[in-house]
Amino acid sequence: MTDALPLGLRAFWGLILRDLRVLSRELVAFGLRTLMNPLLFVFVFTYVMPKIGLAGVTGGAPSGEAFSTVLLPGLIAVSIFFQGIAAVALPLSTELGGTREIEDRLMAPVAIWVVAAEKICFSALQSIIAAAAVFPLVYWIPATPPAITVHWPLLVLVVVLASLTAGSMGLVLGTVVPPRQIGLIFSIVVIPVTFLGCVYYPWAALHPIRWLQIGVLANPLVYVSEGLRAALTPEVGHMGVAVVLAAITGVLVALTWLGIRTFTRRVVT
């Protein structure tokens, strides 16, 4: 079947298969990276604290929904972003370092931008897997199960767009940040993006802090969290679907263009 494909597509598929083989050797690390943080957060805040009488929280939802209902879309969103960024930025820190492992990818019979696009697509695949893996944790662990109403077309669209956006952001960070400083990404980028990404509260709940509500609009994770709320928990206040999709698409296009540009500069020089 692959023999019938054009040379460029066969090369692209070959790069995907290579990355899948590498990932298969790191399944334990992949699982820990994907599940540990959401597992602990869900267990402590939606199971332990309600059981000991310390969690009468509603997650900031204006209509008093259970915290687990507010939390479910946000944790899926942050898992997508965390996995997507890590899946590109961390390997790139090695491949662009002293070993120059990236050069074996560049020997593929495709343009340089195709190699960059493959990295985004493969990281998006990992983000989708992460979203699917986190969902059961957030649904079954809480003492009060979340109330969900799944809108499948919107859910699939938001997850795919968000996964590609996370991968493109990882490509930008992996090519802009020096390899020796790649760990700073998670201190000065990922953590602030997470806590200010409307993961643990809906965007509408920030209305009393108007300056912050406006400021977080620069954070792409806000739109992913709100889009997943519209797709999974529409009873919780969320942004308009059109605004969410337009924002995620705009960020995706901008980051993809920038990531391919910075990737090309790094590998050519």
| Closest by CA position to 104, among listed 22, 171, 5 | 22
**Is 235 in contact with 149 (CB distance < 8 Å)?**
yes
DSSP helix/strand/coil, 207: coil
In angstroms, the CA 49 to CA 40 distance is 12
- Residues 155-214 have pLDDT tens digits of 999 999 999 999 999 999 999 988 778 777 777 888 888 889 999 899 999 999 999 999
Q: What residue type is assigned to position 117 of the chain?
A: A
Return all residues near 49 (Cβ < 8 A) that are at least 6 apart. Answer: 55, 57
What confidence score (pLDDT) does residue 99 get?
62
What confidence score (pLDDT) does residue 237 get?
83
What confidence score (pLDDT) does residue 60 get?
45
What confidence score (pLDDT) does residue 62 get?
44
In angstroms, the CA 67 to CA 69 distance is 5
Average pLDDT taken over every residue of the chain: 85
User: Looking at residue 234, what DSSP letter applies?
Assistant: T
Q: Where does the pLDDT of residue 269 fall: very low under 50, low under 70, confident under 90, or very high at 90 and above? A: low
What confidence score (pLDDT) does residue 55 get?
53
In angstroms, the CA 159 to CA 80 distance is 8
Secondary structure of 82-116 in HEC code, one letter for each residue: HHHHHHHHHHHHHHCCCCCCHHHHHCCCCCHHHHH
Global confidence as pTM: 0.89
Cα-based torsion angle of the residue sequence 251, 253, 259, 264 in order, rounded to the nearest 10 degrees: -170
- Residues 43-88 have pLDDT tens digits of 887 888 778 866 544 444 444 457 888 888 998 999 999 999 989 9
In angstroms, the CA 234 to CA 70 distance is 10
* 240: pLDDT strictly greater than 50: yes
**Is 223 in contact with 247 (CB distance < 8 Å)?**
yes
What confidence score (pLDDT) does residue 123 get?
95
Task: Say which residue the tokens 């699939």 belong to.
Answer: 156
In angstroms, the CA 11 to CA 200 distance is 41
User: Looking at residue 238, what DSSP letter applies?
Assistant: -
End-to-end CA distance of the chain: 37
- Residues 123-160 have pLDDT tens digits of 999 999 999 988 888 888 888 888 899 999 999 999 99
**Is 120 in contact with 164 (CB distance < 8 Å)?**
yes
What confidence score (pLDDT) does residue 56 get?
47
Cα-based torsion angle of the residue sequence 215, 179, 83, 222 in order, rounded to the nearest 10 degrees: 10
- Residues 3-48 have pLDDT tens digits of 545 767 887 888 888 888 888 888 888 888 788 878 887 888 788 8
Return all residues near 217 (Cβ < 8 A) that are at least 6 apart. Answer: none
| Closest by CA position to 269, among listed 110, 96, 104, 111 | 96
Q: Where does the pLDDT of residue 100 fall: very low under 50, low under 70, confident under 90, or very high at 90 and above? A: low
Distances (CA, A) of 102 to 11, 119, 247: 15, 11, 32
